[in-house]
Amino acid sequence: MSLSSNARTWIARYGVLVIFVATFAAFSLLKPEAFFTGVTMKAILRDCVPLLIISLGVTTVLVMNEFDLSAAGLISLCATLVIVLLSTEFEGLNYILAIVLTLLIGTALGGGNGFLVAYVKLPSFIITIAMSTVYVGVSLLLVESKSVFEGISPSYVKIASGTFLGFSNQVFIGLVAVIVMHVLLRLTEPGRYMYAVGGNPEAASLSGLRVRLLKLSGFAIVGLAAAITGILLTSQAGAANPNTGTGLLLPAYAAAYLGSTMFGRGLFTPLGTALGALYLQVVGTGLLILNFSGPLVQIIQGGILALAILVSRFARS
């Protein structure tokens, strides 16, 4: 194509952002009365948070050139686990204790994946698929393959459904998560090291970085993110079922990849991922308001992801 290199640079840097804004504008024009309203905007911000948090988790391992495909299975496991721990039908623990235990167990399980990848040197792609199957099996066992509604403390439900300053609590949780991950990955030493590991593990190791420990930590962060996501989803629904996380795996990776195309450098960043997750939610909510059916929503979301990657590739070539 005969595009000047300046134009290419511009498209590479801002092309996906332009698609983002254009989509938003299109929904606003098509259904101003239903889409471009305070209520809808707040709902979008709230609804994107579970996806946002697990996306931030997988971003950490993507930075190091690894995959964690057990993220969704782990969300399901943590979701059933926290409910089983706190529901009076089962263990009936204090809900705060149940949450703390779930966060710890999620982190430990993620760290376990990291151990298998970093120390036992198993390929992350396939071992996390295997572990995911195990997690889903365990979560089915925990609740005997049924959804659990009973015996859930109202205080627990309030975590996700409560509001503060007119916004859902989830929005603040999401905001804190983005800030924490941005600081960790972009501003601290371990963050810089994680990018170095992704860029050249051999050189990172020869520079004295603890490559294996960094990888293990990355997977532990995915575990923590999965636990938080599982807690938010069950708190919001006031119920747990063993398929809670299933639909989040591909969107989480889509959000991270969309985010990496957002500012042109092809780098996975927490801020990019946050925009990616937000965008997927805008499209999902917008299409819902336009009365598109579920299958169509999937087709369009997938198409947009492919388009975004295409635009950034074309412009960078």
**In the complex, what is the shortest distance from the CB of residue 202 to another protein, in angstroms, rounded to a whole number?**
5
**In the complex, what is the shortest distance from the CB of residue 194 to another protein, in angstroms, rounded to a whole number?**
11
Q: How many residues bind another protein (CB under 8 A)?
A: 21
Do 74 and 223 meet the contact criterion of CB atoms below 8 Å apart? Answer: yes
Nearer Cβ to another protein, position 59 or 301? 59
Within positions 229 to 288, which residues make up the interface with another protein, using CB under 8 A? none
Nearer Cβ to another protein, position 144 or 202? 202
**In the complex, what is the shortest distance from the CB of residue 97 to another protein, in angstroms, rounded to a whole number?**
31
Within positions 176 to 215, which residues make up the interface with another protein, using CB under 8 A? 183, 187-190, 192-193, 195-196, 199-200, 202-211
Specify the DSSP class assigned to residue 186: I
How buried is 300 (Cβ within 10 angstroms: 0-12 exposed, 13-18 middle, 19+ buried)?
middle
Nearer Cβ to another protein, position 2 or 291? 2
Nearer Cβ to another protein, position 22 or 206? 206
**In the complex, what is the shortest distance from the CB of residue 197 to another protein, in angstroms, rounded to a whole number?**
9
What is the Cα–Cα distance from 298 to 292, expressed in whole angstroms? Answer: 10
Q: Which helix (H) or strand (E) holds 190?
A: helix 189-199
Do 258 and 280 meet the contact criterion of CB atoms below 8 Å apart? Answer: yes
What is the Cα–Cα distance from 163 to 152, expressed in whole angstroms? Answer: 19
Do 225 and 57 meet the contact criterion of CB atoms below 8 Å apart? Answer: yes
**In the complex, what is the shortest distance from the CB of residue 309 to another protein, in angstroms, rounded to a whole number?**
19
Packing angle between helix 38-47 and helix 270-289, nearest 10 degrees?
Answer: 130
What is the Cα–Cα distance from 271 to 291, expressed in whole angstroms? Answer: 30
Nearer Cβ to another protein, position 133 or 207? 207
**In the complex, what is the shortest distance from the CB of residue 279 to another protein, in angstroms, rounded to a whole number?**
25
Question: Residue 216 interacts with another protein (CB under 8 A)?
Answer: no
Nearer Cβ to another protein, position 158 or 192? 192
Sign of CA dihedral 217, 65, 59, 230: negative
- Residues in contact with another protein by CB under 8 A are 183, 187-190, 192-193, 195-196, 199-200, 202-211
